[in-house]
Amino acid sequence: MSTVAVKNQGWVVVFAGLFINLALGILYSWSIFKDAISDSINRGGEGAFAWKESALNDPYAVCILVFAFTMIIAGRIQDRKGPRITAFIGGILVSVGFSLLYFTNSYAMWVLGFGVLAGIGIGFGYASATPPAFKWFPASKSGLIAGIVVSGFGIAPVYIAPLATFLVKNYGLHSTMLIFGLAFFVVMSACAMLLKNPPAGYVAVETKTPTAKQKAANGSGQDVEASTLFKLPAFYLIWFILFIGSGAGLMVIGSISGMARASLGEQAFLAVAVIAMGNASGRIVAGLLSDKIGRVLTLFILLVFQATLMFMAATFVRENTTAFVIVMFAAFIGFNFGTNLSLFPTFTKVFWGMKNFGMNYGFVLTAWGVGGFVFSRLSQTLFATNGNHQLSFYIAGACLVLCAILAIQLGRMQKRSE
């Protein structure tokens, strides 16, 4: 009877983490809010936003950066104090950050509210979700469990994008931010109560004997202190690959609604929803695939695929691009981007164990934040200068080709560590 209870508790934790991420994934709907700000600037008049076009992605870019670096501190707190308090802190900060935006059009205050406060809150919430879920399941299911938990973050815009579009149209942008802030506090607080680490000494039992390839993919799992990471070449390689892979995807996610407006009009939110569905499915599929064929081979295949998409996008993403092409592009970019968020937690577990996973993954995830900040800022600046995203796509594609080559070296490092 006790075995059944433990298994049930594990799945409760998984789905609590999933629902926390369903709230936090509002980050990926920024392009809806950005379009509303842009429309206000273009209309002008009293009470209108007065930002520079090149600065429209700044709250989003800052949020990504702050979120990622917060993961270091939040991961440490999660490792030491547990997931519940970590998630609760996140819920409070996201709520305060979004509620603040109800009162202001100020660029600085939007960077503070959406970028800094919500960014810190998202970091705490995200740090609380995956580690306890990992601990309830055997190593052979690491990819699947990571994929399920983080898929919530990716798929959130499927409901947030149309909901945000409806709320902005009927109640205005400022009231929309207040509504989201209050709602997400309730959701995150409730889900935080369901997060729980397994009892001390608990060891998840493998339901079937792993193959030799799966054992290699699962690694030794030797516990490594966070302070040791900076002495390990594998850390820098993993960090750089995530920097490029996530940066290229976040560049598109932050602007996809604008790219789709010419062909989809008021239905441009559909592109945001489609990229979210791709994002979520990529996390689950990559998790399952990596459990079967290995993390490194999965990473290599997906980096090559993403590079190909970027080079193709440089030739066909224009103002007159058809709705079908835009939607398909959004789906595939979302899928590839999502794979990063299930592969790299498992890389962290494989190379450096579970004891300090929260803080170790926090350091790894800074690559996601820096990549998102750099690529989204670069893309918006180039768009303001050139009026298109072509050069951004070429730069991202070239960087992804380099990362595919580096993934081969990462595989060699993993073999040497076994």
The pLDDT assigned to 1 comes to 41
**pLDDT (tens digit, 9 = 90+) per residue, 248-286?**
888 887 777 667 776 777 777 777 788 888 888 888 888
* Alpha-carbon dihedral sign for residues 59, 60, 64, 70: positive
The pLDDT assigned to 32 comes to 87
> Taking the mean position of all CA atoms in its chain, how far away is CA 293?
23
The pLDDT assigned to 3 comes to 47
The pLDDT assigned to 210 comes to 55
Measured CA to CA, the distance from residue 29 to residue 255 in angstroms comes to 10
Q: Is residue 203 part of a domain?
A: no
DSSP 151-206: HHHHHTHHHHHHHHHHHHHHH-HHHHHHHHHHHHHHHHHHHHTT--PPPTT--PPP
Q: Is residue 207 part of a domain?
A: no
The pLDDT assigned to 10 comes to 84
Q: Is residue 266 part of a domain?
A: yes
Q: Is residue 204 part of a domain?
A: no
Q: Is residue 39 part of a domain?
A: yes
Measured CA to CA, the distance from residue 28 to residue 200 in angstroms comes to 37
The pLDDT assigned to 121 comes to 96
Quote the tokens at residue 90: 């996140």
Measured CA to CA, the distance from residue 63 to residue 112 in angstroms comes to 9
Which domain CATH number covers 339? 1.20.1250.20
Residue 125 near residue 20, CB atoms below 8 Å: yes
Q: Is residue 403 part of a domain?
A: yes
How far apart, in Å, do the first and last CA atoms of the chain sit? 36
Q: Is residue 362 part of a domain?
A: yes
The pLDDT assigned to 5 comes to 47
pLDDT tens digits in sequence order for the chain, 418 residues long:
444 445 558 899 999 999 999 999 888 788 889 989 999 998 888 888 999 888 888 998 899 889 988 988 998 898 889 999 999 999 999 999 999 999 999 999 999 999 999 999 999 999 999 889 888 888 778 778 888 898 888 788 888 888 999 999 999 999 999 999 999 899 999 999 999 988 877 777 666 655 555 555 555 557 788 788 889 999 999 999 999 998 888 888 777 766 777 677 777 777 778 888 888 888 888 888 888 888 899 999 999 999 999 898 888 776 667 778 878 888 888 898 888 888 998 889 888 887 888 888 889 989 988 998 888 888 888 888 877 778 888 999 999 999 999 999 998 887 766 5
Q: Domain of 367? A: 7-44+51-197+212-417
> Left, alpha or beta for 44 (phi > 0: left; psi -120 to 50: alpha)?
left
The pLDDT assigned to 402 comes to 95
Measured CA to CA, the distance from residue 127 to residue 73 in angstroms comes to 9
The whole-model pTM stands at 0.75
Q: Is residue 205 part of a domain?
A: no
Structural domains in the chain (count): 1
